[in-house]
Every structure is written in structure tokens, then in C-alpha cells.
Structure 1
Amino acid sequence: MKPLLFVYDYLVMIFGLLWLALLCLVWALISTLLYPLLPSNLRTRIGRRAVMLGFRFYLASLTLTGRCRFDLSELDQLRDAGPLILAPNHPCLLDAVMIISRLPNVACVMKGKLMGNVLFASGARLAGYLPNESIQQMVHQACDDFAHGSQLLLFPEGTRTTRRPVNPFVGSVGLIARQAQVPIQAIFIETESPYLGKGWPLLRKPDLPIRYKVRLGKRFEPQDNLRRLTAELETYFSQELQQPC
């Protein structure tokens, strides 16, 4: 039985990786066709909702394997919460997928190199996602986006976690909050698995099943003192993520 379970778990892992790549590639082709045909406000709305539904379908597919479990229900409280900066910790590559899968109007801050990736570029452009290459441009675009009621997904660690419970926080979250006068919603992604964390080999099989739970934390108001706000956020996340799941 154990050898069969090992093979099944390995196939689940391969399926998860290839299925996500295929979904992204198909949507990239569709997005490329839609982009010049739609007015900007409509293409952003369609692009974001399509990504949400696609990611939700993807996570449902993983759940059907019986080897992945996702508890994301608390995110539904944010659907009608208005403009917010969504600030989660970042344990693995699936973090953005989990959060976006529940929320229909999220602008995601992405690394510049991902904005040029064949799997992500067209879909990200259609959805109006923000590259992180220029902090000034990112702040400007985020402020414009908030004016249309959107929410911004921005990882305050800047990259996936390498030092438990969290990496040192960057100041861009507080800077955007201050410039846009939009609150920061703390979000905690909890899992006991290191799968797809920083440095995890892509084809290394994790121990299955894997469980992910997302819960909401405090909401922080903008502050003029960015250093103090960043320190408060980092301390709060460190304390909360050391609590038992």
C-alpha cells in the first residue's frame, strides 16, 4: 500500500504543477486576444474575475485529489470591505493563488521578471497587476487603483519566508498605505509543510496531505512614521505566527 501511495502522491504533485501551468498558458492566450478589444475598465474587471475563478477551480482540483486541503473561508469577509492593502506572510508559491481565489477585485504586486513570463504576463496585464520595479510608479498605480474600489495584494516580506516565522518586513506596505490613506489588513497563511517555500526543489515530493489555513488578523491604519509601522507589523506577525495553528 505504501509504495502505491508514494506513487499517487508523486503524481498528485506533478499534476498540480502541470495543471497550474496549463491553466495559466490557456488564459495567457485568451488574454492576449482580449486585451486590444476591451476598454481599460472592462478588461481589468474581466481579467481579475477570471483569475479569481481560475485559481478557485485550480484549488478545487487539488482538493479533489484528497491530498491537499484549503481553509480559506475567512477571506470572504473582505469581498465587500472596500479598498485595503492585503498583507499576508509568504510561506510558499501558492499564497497569492489562495488569496486571489476568494476575492474578485485584487491588484497584485508582482516581481518585474514575472511580468515578462510567458505564463503570467498577458493575464497580469489584462488584470492590471503592478510590477514592483519602481516604487514611485507602484505607489502611483496603487493609489489610482484604490480610487476604483480595488484591493492590493502586497507581501510585506518582499519574498518567500526564509527565516521563521517571517523575514524582515519592507517599508513599501506602509508607504502605500500612507500615500493612499488605505488601511493594511494583516492576513496569516498557516501550514506545517515547507512545500514550494524558498529554496524548495520544484520536483521534490512533499509529505502529503498538505493543509493550508488562512485567517484574518488586525487592520492597521496608515501612519506617518513608516519605520514604526513596519516594526509594529513585523512584531505582530512574528507573535501571531508563533501561536499554535
Structure 2
Amino acid sequence: MAVVQACPGVPMKALERFWRVLATGFSFLVFGLGSLLFTLTVVPVSWLIRDELRSERFVKYMIHLCFRFFTGLMQKLGALTVEISHAERLASPGQLVIANHPTLIDVVFLVSFMPRADCVVKSSLLKNPLLSLPVKAARYITNDDPRAVIRAASDSFARGNTLIVFPEGTRTTPGEPMQLQRGAANIAIRTGHNLRPVIIDCAPPALGKNTPWYRVPERRMHMKFRVDEELDVSPYREGKPSVMSRQLTATIKDYFIRETAHHE
């Protein structure tokens, strides 16, 4: 981290906070420029790879490297610190990873941990001129049709990918009860994949929903990622899928509420 020299009459704490605003802003600027460069270079190269699976894996791996660079940059600049426990549990391919969603950059970190990560993304990204081509080249799954999502998830597992799903669907709203969608439960039940929970904590809270990036906390944010043991979904595959999906979603919700409370 760069050393900020104190100016007469300006508290060091205020200077340090100002530096973190600059570091965060610069990091996001790099992310935006990197996305443009990725679209102009990596995506066209992927078009030259005739084998569809090799092309997909090339793009996914390049996204993984770019996200590792971005998260490393934020740490080097002093915008945040990071701690991950049991990262080795993410090494096996073909997992269904679920996580709570406190910050804007949760998925960036998760993809930086896994070289062959797949994601369920908002279909609106296909209309984003900066991100639509990388999303298509990586064969990320769009969320517009629930049945199509399950089919695409099953195909993605068959290709050896690890799928990341945020059951909340969007970032957690501070001060409001956690609300989960059934997508993760439906995928788990209908594809027969257990759930690999990742508990994410950001202290002090930052980059949350309805919080602009430049509103940095008084002290440097520290992000913790804890990769837990798998949750066995086999008991939920014995009944009617729609009913079991509701029950499994309730189980996931209880799990996240309990474990995020322990993580604080």
C-alpha cells in the first residue's frame, strides 16, 4: 500500500480514508477499461478456437486471471484486505456453489478462486455493450427462463464447470430480512448436485446495495470467505420437486442466517 504523508492540520485517518476512495475508484476504472480490452482482444481470439469447449474454457480461464488481477490490485492499493478459509474445497470441478451476497464484488472474488467457474447472470447483461460479448463467449447462463436455466446448468456440470449461484438473486439489502429465490434449490434437486456454501462477510460493510462505491467506511474493509462442507440434497429429491424446492430454499435461508450471524 502506498504511504500517505500527513499534511499540516489534516488528520492521518482522513488522509488514509481519502486514499482508499482513490484506490477504489482507480480499481473500478481499471475494471472498466479491462472489460473493454477483454472484449477487443480475448473474445476475438476465442472465435478462432473452433472447438466450442476449448473456446469456452479459454474465455473462462482468462476471466479468472483478470479477476485475480483486479482483486489483487485492490489489495495492493490498500482498498481492502482478504481472508479465505478452506479454499481447497473449491478445487474440485463440477460443484454447485451458493453464497450470500453482501457486496458488489462477491462474484469477482469467487471467480478469482476458480479457473472454470460458470455463473447465472441477469439476461440484461446481454444488452450491455461492454459485457454482452464476454458473457456469450464464456457461455454464462442467463436467468430469463427457469427451465432453460436448469437445462443449461446440467450441461455446464457435464462440461466440468463449477456453477456459482447467489440464492438471494441480488445483493443483500441492509436491515431487511433475507429473501431467497428458488433457483439454487431447483438446480440442486433437478440435477442431483449437492450445495457447496460459501459464507461471505465484509466488515465494516461496504459496496453494498444502495451504497455508492465512493462511500468507503472509516476503516479499511476486510472481506472473509469461508468455504463450508457440502449440504446433502438427497433427502429433498424424494418428493415432489416443487414442494422439495420450497423446503430446500427454506433450509438454505436458515443456514445463511445462522452462519452469517456466526461469521460476524
Same fold flag (TM > 0.5): yes
Q: Does 1:22 align with 2:33?
A: yes
The answer as to whether partners of 2:204 and 2:220 remain within 8 angstroms in 1 is no
For residue 131 of structure 1, report the CA deviation from its aligned partner.
0.6
The answer as to whether partners of 1:165 and 1:242 remain within 8 angstroms in 2 is no
Q: Does 1:90 align with 2:101?
A: yes
Structure showing greater Rg? 2
For residue 118 of structure 1, report the CA deviation from its aligned partner.
2.5
Percent identity reads 27
CA distance 1:234–1:164, shift in 2 (3 Å): farther
1:191 to 178, 185, 202: 202
For residue 244 of structure 1, report the CA deviation from its aligned partner.
4.3
2:169 to 126, 134, 158: 158
C-alpha offsets along residues 160-190 of structure 1, whole Å, 9 cap, x if unaligned? 0015586221111111111111111111011
Structure 2 residues without counterparts, runs of 5 or longer: 1-5, 238-243
2:123 to 91, 100, 112: 112
Structure 1 residues without counterparts, runs of 5 or longer: none
In the other structure, the counterpart of 2:22 is 11
Matches of 2:174 and 2:214 in 1, distance apart? 22
The answer as to whether partners of 1:130 and 1:138 remain within 8 angstroms in 2 is yes
Matches of 1:214 and 1:186 in 2, distance apart? 10
For residue 105 of structure 1, report the CA deviation from its aligned partner.
1.0
The answer as to whether partners of 1:31 and 1:122 remain within 8 angstroms in 2 is no
Give 2:63's aligned amino acid. V
C-alpha offsets along residues 130-172 of structure 1, whole Å, 9 cap, x if unaligned? 1111111111111011112211001011110015586221111
Superposed CA RMSD in Å reads 1.8
2:86 to 74, 83, 95: 74
Aligned length in residues: 244
In the other structure, the counterpart of 1:241 is 260
C-alpha offsets along residues 180-217 of structure 1, whole Å, 9 cap, x if unaligned? 11111111011123322111124333334111010012
Give 1:22's aligned amino acid. L
C-alpha offsets along residues 43-91 of structure 1, whole Å, 9 cap, x if unaligned? 11101111111111111111111231111353332112x3211100000
Matches of 1:119 and 1:190 in 2, distance apart? 29
Matches of 1:164 and 1:234 in 2, distance apart? 16
In the other structure, the counterpart of 1:64 is 76
In the other structure, the counterpart of 1:232 is 251
Matches of 1:10 and 1:232 in 2, distance apart? 38
